[in-house]
Amino acid sequence: MAIFLFKINPLHVEVDDYVWIVVGDIPPAYIDVESGKNPKEVLESYIFVMNDWVSNVLEGKGVGESYPMNVLPTMEYATMLKNRLVILNSFVNEEFD
């Protein structure tokens, strides 16, 4: 996985000039600079929003309020993502603390 910080030219004044992008063998996501000021905070924010989606799927709730994902909200995808998030969370705790 990789984390990138991009400087963008926003079309609206209320949009930040910078955005974090998280990609890899995990669902891609963007994290705004208010939710992550450094790589550790970016990963923590990523884990938080993805865990919300996982929890909603596993509990049989709707995902309309969750971070938009490009996969069907199935138990299979939720379980796969949950396993990856456990590994990612361990990495964050070991490498950044």
Report the domain count for the chain: 1
Question: Taking residues 11-29, what's their average pLDDT?
Answer: 93
What DSSP designation does 35 have? Answer: T
Q: Express each pLDDT in 80-96 by its tens digit.
A: 999 999 999 999 999 98
Q: Which domain holds residue 28?
A: 2-96
Q: Express each pLDDT in 34-53 by its tens digit.
A: 999 999 999 999 999 999 99
Q: For the whole model, what pTM was predicted?
A: 0.92
Residue with tokens 């910080």: 5
How many Å apart are CA 15 and CA 27, to the nearest integer? 23
**Are the C-beta atoms of 69 and 52 separated by less than 8 Å?**
no
User: Could you give the percent of the chain with pLDDT greater than 70?
Assistant: 99
Query: Of 35, 29, 27, 34, which Cα lies nearest the Cα of 4?
Result: 29
15 falls in which pLDDT band (50, 70, 90)?
confident
Both tokens of 27, joined, read 């669902």
Both tokens of 34, joined, read 């208010």
How many Å apart are CA 86 and CA 31, to the nearest integer? 19
